[in-house]
Amino acid sequence: MEQAEQSEQQGQHDDHEEPEDALIQEDRVWQGQGWTARVIKNEDDDGWAVAMIKDGEPEPALVGPWTMGRDKKNPKPLDISAFHTLVKTANEVIRRHEQQLHARLHKSVRVVTDEGAAITVKMVITPDEDEPYATLTAVDEYGDELASVRTRPDFRLSATSATEWIEGGYRKP
């Protein structure tokens, strides 16, 4: 019986305490789903902006205009619906950025040799701060690797350069 009373009292006590990592959900700051939306004064004009900051990141992933409130002076308060829309938009911005980065670092071209073999030449750039480099890889139509060499990150991969590399015996360009 004593243990049940202690558990009951403990439960009542826990209901009144705020967890240390409680999410903020206020008119100008809203947190959740790994994001913080913060309504800020727009530096460019008299309006307001909203900054979407991913947890753990120093800079906002997205900053966009925010609606004025009814008084035409203060910002419209954040709410759960607006926050969900902002999270969706910010996630899409990050996804597009990652796709663009992937496309910039991964290129490929397919060439057909004089013998009729279809070879795909892939170039993957490794953006190392000290020594960036690229890796050229030739793959046959069955997915088997024919050759792989390390080259400069500014190597221009094209059908012509890929054909020259293949015809040159896959030597480092």
3-state secondary structure 81-135: HHHHHHHHHHHHHHHHHHHHHHHHHEEEEEEECCCCCEEEEEEEEECCCCCCEEE
Written as six digits, the tokens of 129 are 């701060």
Percent of the chain scoring above 90 in pLDDT = 77
Q: Looking at residue 32, what is its pLDDT? A: 95
The model's pLDDT over 13-45, given as tens digits with 9 standing for 90+, comes to 444 444 556 889 999 999 999 999 999 998 777
Is the model's pLDDT at 78 over the cut of 50?
yes
Q: In what order do the strands lie in the sheet with 145-151?
A: 106-112, 118-126, 133-140, 145-151
Q: Measure the CA–CA gap between 88 and 53, rounded to whole angstroms.
A: 13
